Amino acid sequence: MGLGTQIRLARLFSHESGNLFGIAVDHFVGYGNVRDGGLANLPSAVSQCMTAEPDTMTMTPGTAKHCWPAYAGDAALIVQAACWTPDDRIREQLATPADAVRLGADALAVAIGVRGETEGDFIRWLSDAVRAAAEFEMPVVAHIYPRDYSDGVRIVFTPDEIAYAVRVGIETGVDVIKVGYPGDEAAFAQIIDGCPVPVVMAGGPKEPTLHGALAQMHAGMRAGARGAVVGRNIWGDEDMARAARAYAAVIHDGANAAEALESA
């Protein structure tokens, strides 16, 4: 790992806690109705999320171009290189490491699905991004989502599948691995213990209550996660600024769900 990569990674994990609290507004238009929900107004969503002083913000290149300039220097920018839906209805690459450099980013995120007939294509996306990013000393943050095809297609979070997702990240040479919580603290701790790079948690899927989402995050942090990148459980909340502050309390202060909600 070269000096440039080390410096950029240090910016991602710059909080004194050593953990990363990131917010993702990188959900491409193909996910659903753009008139409803927390991302209907992207500039407003970014503004509200930034009140919680996240360490990183992950955005598609276009969102970064249009919405990030006012916040440059307030957090590390991560550019999302991929857009896809679990059923592969959309499966495209939006950005390269060179694009991320031009946008002033500190890291490139690459979201992929594993399992299924297109798994090889996604793994190639990720390995190609790692290879191209090395030229610029640009860290790659892999967002890896295992899929199950037994009844349609859905993202799954079992310990075996999360372990598989983490192994894909290790073997493609990424710098940070983002995966969902497998619902088993001991299993997650074992997975993290065997990973030579930082593992951060995905914030989704959307939980019925913010308390439940925060309790899950607290369990993942106890298991050894180095933080989280949260999307819909923040901007999908009625008070996204409060939700973001609560997540920050769990990730940086070690608060449990009740303590985080009280402090937010």
How many DSSP H helices and E strands does the chain contain? 11, 11
In the residue annotation, 178 being an active-site residue is answered as yes
- The verdict on whether 206 is a catalytic residue reads no
Amino acid at residue number 25: V
31 is catalytic: no
Q: Cβ distance 27 to 47 under 8 Å?
A: no
Longest dimension (CA), the chain: 47
State the Cα–Cα distance between residues 32 and 57, nearest whole angstrom: 21
Of 178, 181, 237, 247, the active-site residue reads 178
DSSP single-letter state for residue 104? T
* Active-site annotation holder among 145, 175, 181, 247: 145
Minimal CA–CA distance to 138: which of 113, 178, 106? 106
Which helix (H) or strand (E) segment holds residue 192: the answer is: helix 185-193
Q: How far is it, in rounded angstroms, from Cα 19 to Cα 252?
A: 6
- Active centre residues (catalytic): 26, 145, 178
